[in-house]
């Protein structure tokens, strides 16, 4: 049977390129060092964060406070290892910081903190906060006549929170076409499938009915992400929601769509071997 939906494509994406594998090695290396970390939520995000930071965001790691920079908020703060990997790789802070993840003197906690981590725009971790902050940033850009765009990365479990939908109404009210909500739709939250915990479907229709321009794509397809994110604002006067169909734990077969890998403590030798097979030596 031929399946062509973004969801099916995400599941069927078997080959990740060397950069995607490298970023996964950074994430998993930090988990190995710390003996803990949200693995699944970070691995589903890698391509989304990668395309944002490699290709889309107008940012300068040497000048992270530039008023004209694009803003990105990782509202699903527990996916921070993906963000840390990109920020380190792009030079916001040394790669060696990743080894100290969650350590007593590290700048890198289990959720990202503004003021602690260069390049992090807002402290997140409590879910359902980022889109409202993003509305404020995007509205400020409009009021100040600034050209920067605001991108907010949300988890699918996160959008259980009612505050997300309050923010969605606010974004539509103000016609914030400089605001993009990216939903990491990996279909699996902490307890289990999103369909079981609190069904989200019809998700695209929900965002559309809240006034957003909606695009759905395979969130592991770097080309598709570049295409969608390269045309913001998508429609003048309307905010954009990009539903990124992803696989939790993507790229690590033992972790893929496996709720046990939502958060992982000390990795065992067999698990470390499985990681080496999947992403290479790390």
Partner 1 sequence: MRNTAMNMVHKLAARDERVLYIGSDPGAGTLRAMSKEFPSRHLIEGISEAHIIGMSAGLAMEGYVPYVNTIATFLTRRCYEQVAVDLCLHNLPVRLIANGGGLVYAPLGPTHQAIEDIAIMRALPNMTVVCPADADETTRLMEQTLDWPGPIYIRLAKGGDAIVSKAEHGFKIGKAILMRAPGEVLMVTTGIMLQRALAAADLLASQGISAGILHMHTVKPLDIEAVLAAIRGVGLLVSLEEHVPTGGLGSAIAEGLIDRLGHGLPAMLRLSLPDAFMHNYGSQDSLMKKHDLAPAGIAASIQRAVAASGVSTPQLHSTQAR
CA atoms within 13 A on the CB side of 74: 30
Q: Which is nearer to partner 1, 170 or 251 (CB)?
A: 170
What are the DSSP calls for 118-142, one per residue? TT--S---STT-HHHHHHHHHHHHH
Q: Measured from the CB of residue 179, what is the shortest distance to partner 1 in angstroms?
A: 10
Q: Which is nearer to partner 1, 141 or 247 (CB)?
A: 141
Site for partner 1 in 5-44 (CB under 8 A): none
**Residue partners of 102: CB distance under 8 A and separation at least 6:** 34, 36, 37, 108, 109, 110
Rounded-to-integer distance, Cα 166 and Cα 130, Å: 12
74 binds partner 1 (CB under 8 A): no
Contact flags string 161-180 toward partner 1, x per CB under 8 A: -xx--xx-xx--x-------
Select from 144, 147, 270, 281 the one that contacts partner 1 (CB under 8 A).
Answer: 144
Q: Which is nearer to partner 1, 29 or 112 (CB)?
A: 112
Q: Measured from the CB of residue 188, what is the shortest distance to partner 1 in angstroms?
A: 24
2 binds partner 1 (CB under 8 A): no
Q: Measured from the CB of residue 138, what is the shortest distance to partner 1 in angstroms?
A: 8
CA atoms within 13 A on the CB side of 35: 2
Site residue total, partner 1 (CB under 8 A):
30
60 binds partner 1 (CB under 8 A): no
Is residue 230 within 8 A of residue 249, CB to CB? The reply is no
CB atoms within 10 A of CB 125: 16
186 binds partner 1 (CB under 8 A): no
SS3 278: helix
Q: Which is nearer to partner 1, 90 or 146 (CB)?
A: 146
Q: Which is nearer to partner 1, 26 or 139 (CB)?
A: 139
Q: What is the CA radius of gyration of the chain?
A: 18
Contact flags string 110-139 toward partner 1, x per CB under 8 A: ----xx-----xxx-xx-xxxxxxxxxxxx
Q: Measured from the CB of residue 148, what is the shortest distance to partner 1 in angstroms?
A: 10
Q: Which stretches of 145-179 are DSSP H helices?
A: 162-173
CA distances from 223 to 17, 210, 218 (A): 12, 27, 10
Partners of 16 in the β-ladder? none
The secondary structure of residue 202, as a DSSP letter, is S
For partner 1, the binding residues (CB under 8 A) are 114-115, 121-123, 125-126, 128-141, 143-144, 162-163, 166-167, 169-170, 173
């Amino acid at each position: 049977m031929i399946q062509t939906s973004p969801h099916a494509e995400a599941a069927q994406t078997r080959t990740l390129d060397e950069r995607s594998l490298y970023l996964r090695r950074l994430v998993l290396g930090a988990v190995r060092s710390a003996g803990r970390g949200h693995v699944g939520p970070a691995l589903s995000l890698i391509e989304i964060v990668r395309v944002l930071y490699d290709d889309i965001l107008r940012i300068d790691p040497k000048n992270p406070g530039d008023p004209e920079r694009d803003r990105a908020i990782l509202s699903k703060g527990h996916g921070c290892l993906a963000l840390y990997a990109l920020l380190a790789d792009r030079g916001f802070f040394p790669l060696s910081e990743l080894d100290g993840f969650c350590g007593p003197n590290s700048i890198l906690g289990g959720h990202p903190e503004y003021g602690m981590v260069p390049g992090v725009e807002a402290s997140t971790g409590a879910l359902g906060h980022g889109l409202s902050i993003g509305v404020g940033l995007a509205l400020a850009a409009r009021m100040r006549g600034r050209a920067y765009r605001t991108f907010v990365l949300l988890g699918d479990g996160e959008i259980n929170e009612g505050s997300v939908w309050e923010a969605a109404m606010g974004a539509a009210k103000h016609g914030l076409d400089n605001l993009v909500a990216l939903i990491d739709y990996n279909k699996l939250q902490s307890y289990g499938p999103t369909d079981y915990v609190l069904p989200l479907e019809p998700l695209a229709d929900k965002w559309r009915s809240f006034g957003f321009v909606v695009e759905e794509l395979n969130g592991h397809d770097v080309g598709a992400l570049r295409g969608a994110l390269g045309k913001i604002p998508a429609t003048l006067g309307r905010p954009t929601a990009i539903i990124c169909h992803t696989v939790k734990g993507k790229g690590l077969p033992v972790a893929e769509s496996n709720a046990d890998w939502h958060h992982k403590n000390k990795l065992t030798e067999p698990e470390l071997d499985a990681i080496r097979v999947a992403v290479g030596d790390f």
